[in-house]
Amino acid sequence: MKLIDTHRQLFGTNRPVIGCLHLMAMPGTPYYDSSVTIDQQIDRIRKEADILQSLGYDAVVFANEGDRPYLTTVGPEVIATYVRIVSAVIPDLKVPYGCGVLIDPFATLAVAKGIGARFIRTYVSNSYEGTFGSQKFHPGEIFRYQKQIGAEDVHVYTYFEAHAGVSLDTRDLQSQISSGFASMPISGMLIGGPRAGLPPESSTLASVKEAYPDFPLLLGSGGNPQNIASLLSFADGVIIGTNIKKDGYLYNPVDYERAKTFIEAAKAV
């Protein structure tokens, strides 16, 4: 089966609209607020999941965006708290769900295995310099770990470009994509803008999709009701976070009306 067919089967639609469920900052991270209890965090995520499901989002993805600035190796306190929160919400989910632990692919796979996530969003290759310092990802180690913990059924969606930084790999994007799909057991790729909330150029999506029509391509950031029709004419789905939050601010809760406006625009494509 082609990867694009597996992608469509996974989400039950050709172009899934995947809503982000962003956890608040975990213990030990700079923005952690000890006055917010675990039960309150669970209640917030549960309400957001209910909103997205009621509006017809095709899937959700958990993420710890609140833990900025991010680490390539997170502590056990982050993993433990993350799993406790999402495990309380999962019984209410009726759509496929995924996860990401920024920016630690090993923790992401471990959490995915523990919570039964169908897919992950992460980095698995390349070296970067940027806002979060030096980042080096070794796919040989990451995919061996996936095998060792029995998480081969977790679909890996990965970025090939830097987020809030620059790549040390000077090859063009298409060369990296070709090499990545040829040598790594990935299920799809993500292309986003230079940081959260910003979109990539439509021309970038178009050129990648034209070159690799059978490789699933998710829009990783920057979708909004005004540009989503254009971007989804090339992408095989979208992960949406910032635009559906209150006031369009990444760290705010999901806003019902904004989430409704976005899903209506995306489903009209």
- How high does pLDDT run on average in the chain? 95
Mean per-residue pLDDT, 21-50: 97
> What pLDDT, in 10s, does the model give residues 182-195?
999 999 999 987 66
> What pLDDT, in 10s, does the model give residues 216-257?
999 998 999 999 999 999 999 999 999 999 999 999 999 999
pLDDT at 199 over 80: no
On whether the pTM is more than 0.85, the answer is yes
Confidence of residue 196 (pLDDT cuts 50, 70, 90): low
Percent of the chain with pLDDT strictly greater than 70: 97
Q: Can you give the pLDDT at residue 162?
A: 87
Q: Which of 52-66, 112-126, 200-214 has the lowest mean pLDDT?
A: 200-214
Mean per-residue pLDDT, 256-263: 98
Q: Can you give the pLDDT at residue 204?
A: 87
> What pLDDT, in 10s, does the model give residues 101-112?
999 999 999 999
Question: What is the domain partition of the chain in residue ranges?
Answer: 3-265
User: Domain 3-265 - what CATH class?
Assistant: alpha beta
DSSP assignments along the chain, one per residue:
--HHHHHHHHHTSSS-EEEEEEPPPPTTSTT--TTS-HHHHHHHHHHHHHHHHHHT-SEEEEE-GGGPSP-SS--HHHHHHHHHHHHHHGGG--S-EEEE-TT-HHHHHHHHHHHT-SEEEE--SEEEEETTEEEEE-HHHHHHHHHHTT-TTSEEEEE-S-SSEEES--S-HHHHHHHHHHHS---EEEE--SSTT-PPPHHHHHHHHHH-TTS-EEE-S---TTTHHHHTTT-S-EEE-GGGBGGG-TTSPBPHHHHHHHHHHHHT-
